[in-house]
Amino acid sequence: MKKEDFMRRLETLLADISEEERQEALAYYWSYFEDAGEENEERILRELESPEKVAATIKADLKVDARKETGAFTEHGYEDERFAGSSQSMEIKKKPSQSKGWSSSGADENRTLKIALIVVIAAVTSPIWISLLAGIVSFIAAAVGLAFGFIAAAVALYITGGVLFGVGIGQIAVGSIAVGFGLVGAAMFVWAVAILITVFCVWLCGKGIPWLCRGIESLWKKVFPGKEKAI
């Protein structure tokens, strides 16, 4: 590739930037070749690698300029030129590191981009997290149902025990004493089971549910780390 071909290709590649920027860049590289002289032409073409790479370098820098950043993270923390006055800041002009991608400046723009990105990701992954959410909700519903079931069972057993006890006492008084004692015994057994269930329910409310909540909370934190800090 000769320098003429290189420059033609570069001009085509720079078609989408402003006329002024394109002319500036082309003038620079034209005179660069001419100042280097014929004898260095081949070496420079080799070192520039390709018109594509040169165009990308030029555009990367323009993009950063166009973002109208107002502040930057420097070694002195966040600094904003508009408020810094004449402070002796090392980073008076914000700029990207050379061809190393973006600097940490332009925080506002970044933030908007980040939010947009999160929305897009949330929409794309919605089948996953909606089903996950549904799973968690149904799990909680099942747990609540189970708890109600236990409470209902305990209440029913207390009533059954009461009935058995009453009938048993009646039998002791007027009917078969053996049947009466048997019924009272059965009542005691039923009450014992009811009390056990009650104790279990109390334990569940006191320990089990908070444990469940903590479990869900830590799971949430694992899935969305640093969520609180972001807010």
> Binding marks (x or -) toward other proteins, 104..143, rule CB under 8 A?
----------------------------------------
**Total of chain residues touching other proteins, rule CB under 8 A:** 32
Interaction between residue 2 and other proteins (CB under 8 A): no
The residue within the footprint of other proteins, chosen from 80, 84, 103, 107 (CB under 8 A), is: 103
3-state secondary structure of 80: strand
Residues 10-69 that bind other proteins (CB under 8 A): 24-25, 27-29, 31-32, 34-36, 44, 47-49, 53-54, 57-58, 60-61, 65
**In the complex with other proteins, which residue's Cβ is closer, 25 or 190?**
25
Question: Residue 190 has which token pair?
Answer: 């039923």
Q: How far apart are CA 163 and CA 183, in angstroms?
A: 9
- Taking the complex as a whole, the smallest distance from the CB of residue 108 to other proteins amounts, in Å, to 20
Nearest approach, Cβ of residue 32 and other proteins (Å):
5
Question: Which residue, among 57, 65, 71, 78, has the nearest Cα to 13 in the 3D structure?
Answer: 57
Specify the residue, 49 or 228, whose C-beta has the smaller distance to other proteins: 49
Q: How far is the C-alpha of 228 from the C-alpha of 25, rounded, in Å?
A: 46
Sign of CA dihedral 207, 212, 215, 217: negative
Minimum Å gap between C-beta 114 and other proteins is: 23
Looking at beta carbons only, is 43 or 221 nearer to other proteins? 43
Closest-CA residue to 62 (of 3, 108, 9, 13)? 13
Cβ-based nearer residue to other proteins, 87 or 112: 87
Cβ 15 to other proteins shortest distance, Å: 18
Q: CA nearest 161: which of 185, 131, 191?
A: 191
Residues near 61 by Cβ (< 8 Å), separated by ≥ 6?
Answer: 96
Q: What is the CA radius of gyration of the chain?
A: 39
Other Cβ atoms closer than 10 A to 13: 19
Interface with other proteins (CB under 8 A): 24-25, 27-29, 31-32, 34-36, 44, 47-49, 53-54, 57-58, 60-61, 65, 88, 90-93, 95-99, 103
